[in-house]
Amino acid sequence: MRSWTDTLRFAFQPVVNLMTGGVAALEILARPEGGDVLAEARRDPELDGRLAVSAFRAAVRKETLLPLHVNVFAGTLADLGGLQPLHDAVREAGRMPWEVTLDVCPPYAHVPRRALLEAVSAVRAQGFRICADGVGDGDAPLRLLTDLAPELVKLDASLLARPAAVRAMRVLCDELGALLAVEGVETEAQYAAARTAGAQWAQGELLAPPARLPATDVYLPAGSPGVPPAPRSGPPVRQFVRPAALLPTSASAGQVRALLTGSPEVSGVLLVDRDGVPVRSVHRSRFLLTMSGRYGHALYADRPAAKLGDVPRTVGVDATAWEVLDVVAVGGRGRTSDDVAVVDAHGRCVGVVRLADLVRALAESRVEEAAGLNPLTRLPGSDAITAEVDRRIADGRAFALSWLDVDHFKQVNDRAGFAAGDELIRAVGRVLSRAASGSTRVGHIGGDDFLVLTDPEALEGLASRVLDVPWAAGGRPVTLSLATVLCPPGGVPDHRQAAACLAPLKEAAKALRGASWVLGRAGAPGHEVRRGSNRAAAQTG
């Protein structure tokens, strides 16, 4: 008699980090050839528990090193009081429990609340991470959601039609210390809506359909921004994080050798403690060279691999590429090719970065940056600013976008000469560059037009720097006009709409007399005059 395992197959669907474009994890999905094993599992907790173990073992057989998401019904956890067989399977495979996230699935109705919370506490104590799945289209009460305190919340894509609800869920997730994901993303419009509403992760047919083999290639719509660049300190290290090859600190040299010889793409292994904190770093070439010596295998195969490792080099997940290079530069030259472990706030490894990736990316960014700079002011063009606008929108951050230009600049050139006009533009550019500290970004989009992106609280200081000082070209006094649109979280869907809101404000600023500043708010009528006077009033006064 055939059992349910004989016809059951599994598929793998990437969960994508919307900020980096990389694959954050793989969800393991049951694909029975016949019958409805999931309906049976919902009624039979023992079956659901065995299904979770089978899903994990299917991933192990595929030798993927990515973090995994395993589905389990809420009722199963409450009934069984935990998932000890899954914990045992994870340990037997040499993986760490914190690499596995349990997607706790509805229904929650009729599930004993106390029993569920006690079971979640038990599996979390074992090291597993918790995801509240099916939120928004299921029956998860908000009270239960806050009590679960999940590390991840997955929203159904249908909720994207109600962006206010998604933004509210992002606020709740921030309070809980959880990430927000959207599942079931099938169109580019849904993808854009997810990013605009503040979702940090996503999965769905658009990005990557479920596949028989674990995959890291995903589709990202054109223009998808990555992590906000920091021009003075280099791109964030999160852009370059790769999955880490991890083994427990108790692993033998033979186990490390088996992993390296079976995975030629792995450049090194990190030995981590029970909490996932890197303790030793094993470099591929140096390790295999030692093991391949005359007596290497006999001497070391059964000994702890930690004896052949080095102190790991680590950087925080918020570090920049330049900071990684600083870490690499410390110590002997023999370790310059070692992977650098990227750790979270608790010191747990979230991945590794390779020096070659960093060097290549930094070189390319310098070439691209140089090509995009305005030759007169050495400031970037509009593309850099609009890309940053889209990133801040996706992050759910409030921002202010300003347009600055010289009043009657053609007359300035005609009367003072183009050389004086060029020097004026360079002087304005220098002042703006000096003001571009912290999160302020400045772009020269051509002629006498500048774009400035900053936090709303930095506006007054910026305006004072450029408007409350005398300007002149060829000895003739000159005034500047500034137009600003304030964009709250969710106020605009993309940089195009922000620019559209800014255009009438610029026109209003140019209609004022003297140095002018007009301030408006996205989605709100009218504007506020912060500097300048009405021309008609000035003529009749």
**Who's near 333: CB < 8 A, 6+ residues apart?**
none
Distance CA 133, CA 155 (A): 7
For the sheet containing 246-248, what is the strand order?
A: 246-248, 268-272, 278-283
Of 436, 342, 426, 345, the closest CA to residue 388 belongs to 436
DSSP one-letter code for 240: G
What per-residue confidence (pLDDT) applies to 101? Answer: 94
Contact, 284 vs 266, CB < 8 A? yes
Distance CA 342, CA 163 (A): 33
Q: Which one-letter amino acid corresponds to residue 432?
A: L
Distance of CA 340 to the CA centre of its chain: 19
Largest CA distance in the chain: 99
Contact, 378 vs 345, CB < 8 A? no
What per-residue confidence (pLDDT) applies to 295? Answer: 59
pTM score, whole prediction: 0.49
What per-residue confidence (pLDDT) applies to 4? Answer: 55
Angle between helices 382-395 and 188-197 (to 10 degrees): 80
List 9's β-bridge partners, or say none: 31
Distance CA 217, CA 110 (A): 40
The per-residue pLDDT string of the chain (541 residues; one tens digit each, 9 = 90 and over) reads 345 555 688 999 999 888 767 788 899 998 876 667 778 888 999 999 999 999 999 998 887 778 899 999 999 999 999 999 999 999 898 888 888 999 999 999 889 999 999 999 999 989 899 999 989 887 888 899 999 999 999 999 999 988 888 999 999 988 888 899 999 999 988 998 998 888 989 999 999 899 888 876 788 776 554 433 333 345 677 777 888 888 899 888 888 888 888 888 788 999 999 888 999 999 988 888 887 766 556 666 778 888 888 889 898 887 877 778 777 766 566 677 788 999 988 888 888 888 877 776 666 555 444 445 666 777 887 777 888 898 888 878 899 999 999 999 888 888 888 888 889 998 998 888 887 666 788 888 888 899 999 999 888 888 998 998 899 998 889 999 999 999 999 889 989 999 999 999 999 999 998 999 999 999 898 999 999 887 544 333 3
Of 111, 172, 146, the closest CA to residue 119 belongs to 111
What per-residue confidence (pLDDT) applies to 293? Answer: 66
Distance CA 413, CA 409 (A): 6
What per-residue confidence (pLDDT) applies to 89? Answer: 94
In angstroms, the Cα distances linking 332 to 267, 282, 483 are 19, 15, 53
What per-residue confidence (pLDDT) applies to 364? Answer: 54
Residue entry with tokens 């996503």 = 202
Number of residues that this document lists for the chain: 541
**Who's near 86: CB < 8 A, 6+ residues apart?**
49, 52, 53, 56, 70, 100, 128
Distance CA 47, CA 57 (A): 15
Residue entry with tokens 């930690």 = 306
In angstroms, the Cα distances linking 175 to 132, 138, 472 are 15, 21, 51
Classify residue 531 as left (phi > 0), alpha (psi -120 to 50) or beta: beta
Distance CA 69, CA 119 (A): 18
What per-residue confidence (pLDDT) applies to 300? Answer: 65
Q: Which one-letter amino acid corresponds to residue 162?
A: R
